[in-house]
Structure 1
Amino acid sequence: MHKSFSTRDLPESHEFGYWRDVIADAYFNLQLSFPDAHHFDGQIDIWDLNGLQLSRLQSSGLVYRRLRQHCAVQERQVLVTVPFKSEVEFSQLGRTTRCSPGQFLLELSEEPYDFGYGQDNAMWVLKVPVSALKARIGEPSRFCARQYDSRQGVGRLFNDYLQLMANHCEIDHDASVRGLMATQLIDLLAISLQQHPDALQSSQSAVRDAHLARIEAHVRQHLSDPDLSPERIAQASGISLRYLHLLFKDTGQSVSQWIRELRLQSAHEALSRANGQTSVAQIAYGAGFSDHAQFTHAFRKKFGHAPSDMLRPVRGR
């Protein structure tokens, strides 16, 4: 689904309030400051990609502020901003960075921030639920307010795939194709973040992240196994069970909770790609859930709707 909003044909002075409302609907509540108090131009095109949102934003110079009172009212989100016309400046969690065309950065919805540019700009903005990214890289806060190169390596692959998706957004692909594209885009984003040298802050965190990467690879490979347990994971990863639990101590969840989150996220992505012949039970068992009722209860609690609700539109078509 494509939506487009523009200030082009608005009466004079109406563009400021209109743009505030558009930005709040597209992303979340922000305080806007307009350097030019007499005139503003802005256009935004928005595409829904089965849980992700891609937008192309073009506007005059502007400052966006996420205030503390805005931060605790909705699902946690990450905005990935890829400017392609001029530089943006961003501050969050005590870090300030400048992001130029050829780079991208991350913004967290649950923390205050300042984001601005003093001249006309254009950018891609990808809105991603934190749960989708967290399942791949852990807590994303350590990746925010840093520049990531979109001109080489996996960063370029992520950027190129983003452009490709934008080109295909105008094509009426079915939900399973859109879901597959969204999953692949998140995978590329996660890999490009993990490969950035600033992601590891010390030799201790490098060792820890190496263990977690090995653990995650094993768990993802065996996610469909309902007997996957912390004991098996520790043994396969060559570490003690005690050290495995220690690695997860600062993540705010246990190993078992993390595995369940991975399974729920995997099932959600599989449902978004499903065709009319796929059943909820097949997807539940494929994600490692051995009890259909428990899966449905956990899925509804996490996503706010039953897994079968995601299949009804597909079957209807």
Structure 2
Amino acid sequence: MSLLEQLSTAEVAPSDRLPFWNDIARLVAPIQVESLGETPFEARLYRRKLRDCELLSPCSSPARIYSAPDHENAGVLNIQVQHRGRSTNHTGGRTAVLEEGDFVLYDPSKPLWLSFEEYTQAIVVRLPLATVEERMPHLRSQVGVPVSGRRGAGALFSSFMRNAWEELEHDGSGEWVDALGDAIWPLLDMAYAASRPVIEPNRRDERRRALFEAVEADLTDPDLDVHRLARRMGVSARYVQMLFAEMGTTPRAFIQNRRLELAARRLEREGGDVTVTDVAYDVGFNDLSSFCRAFRRRFEMSPRNYRAGERG
């Protein structure tokens, strides 16, 4: 049984489908969809949230899509994998034609347009910018650069995402789904290794690494805040806030997200051997109700249900 969230125009009158779909699309990003076909427009959107990222799969009849800069989505980067059909994408000052299996990185905080003249399905991986900066700090330099999914490391990443998506469509309830997000990063790193420019770490990169280390060192301390991080790093609190702002987040949000990820891993690993209360206090929360609310917002279920294996 698939556990994908699905939105569709199937139950909408043909004349109302395009306005309906534009309203739906704006829930994901501020885009405008124009139909290119003579037949009635039709589209579907599947969604699945993972622990460290989100997967979307839009399917559509021929269309042209425009996207204005979306500062609300400044905290993510998107990888678009062409799953079926062919599309032309323009982003980051570059134009790329994607055949089946090819993929391209785009920044939803920047303008984007794409078009396709046949029925098309894409797989979009939404990556938190804070995690990108931590694991692959130079990935943003590759916005708009197409990667072939037919050879080399690009084929490994593309095949993995397309096969994983087809498994999700048929059975997204397996334990393997929780580890899917972890498997994406090393494959993505290999896919961009050849085209990524070699850049010597600068002082800002070193400060960012020091910031991540400072967060991890005191992550479970309830008193960890921007001032504690600044003292550990020997910089001002304003500078620490600026480093987080460059990653599209805030110190409080980043710390809370890391604590929730740590809590989720403990609940997965230890299951019924640990109480939700113990986990909440152990990872740095000093209030159980606050932990439960934050956990539900992050994982769309209670810590108790997550521990019981009802993830998805």
Query: TM class, shorter-chain normalised?
Result: 0.5 to 0.7
Q: Which runs of 5+ in 1 are unaligned?
A: 234-240, 242-247
Change over 3 Å in CA distance of 1:167–1:103 after alignment to 2? closer
Distance in structure 1 (CA, Å) of the matches to 2:298 and 2:59: 37
Aligned residues: 289
Distance in structure 2 (CA, Å) of the matches to 1:143 and 1:284: 40
1:52 corresponding residue in structure 2? 53
| TM-score using structure 1 length | 0.67
Deviation track 1:148-184 (CA, whole Å, cap 9, x = no partner) reads 232334333322332343244243537x753322222
Distance in structure 1 (CA, Å) of the matches to 2:54 and 2:147: 20
Secondary structure at the aligned position of 2:26 is classed as helix
Secondary structure at the aligned position of 2:200 is classed as helix
Q: Which runs of 5+ in 2 are unaligned?
A: 220-228, 235-239
2:41 corresponding residue in structure 1? 40
One-letter identity of the residue aligned with 1:105: V
1:245 corresponding residue in structure 2? none
Change over 3 Å in CA distance of 1:173–1:41 after alignment to 2? closer
Distance in structure 1 (CA, Å) of the matches to 2:245 and 2:26: 31
| TM-score using structure 2 length | 0.68
**Which of the residues 263, 266, 270 maps onto 1:271?**
263
1:64-103 equivalences in 2 (<5 Å): 64-68=65-69, 71-74=70-73, 76-103=75-102
1:165 corresponding residue in structure 2? 164
Secondary structure at the aligned position of 2:97 is classed as strand
2:182 corresponding residue in structure 1? 183
2:193 corresponding residue in structure 1? 195
2:137 corresponding residue in structure 1? 138
**Aligned-residue offset at 1:16:** 1.0
RMSD: 4.7
Secondary structure at the aligned position of 1:148 is classed as coil
**Aligned-residue offset at 1:77:** 2.5
**Which of the residues 201, 205, 208 maps onto 2:201?**
208
Distance in structure 1 (CA, Å) of the matches to 2:122 and 2:142: 19
Deviation track 1:15-70 (CA, whole Å, cap 9, x = no partner) reads 21122123223x212011222366223233332324533233322221111124xx
Change over 3 Å in CA distance of 1:281–1:292 after alignment to 2? farther
2:62 corresponding residue in structure 1? 61
Sequence identity, in percent?
A: 14
**Aligned-residue offset at 1:121:** 1.9
Higher relative contact order (CA closer than 8 Å, sequence separation 6+): 2
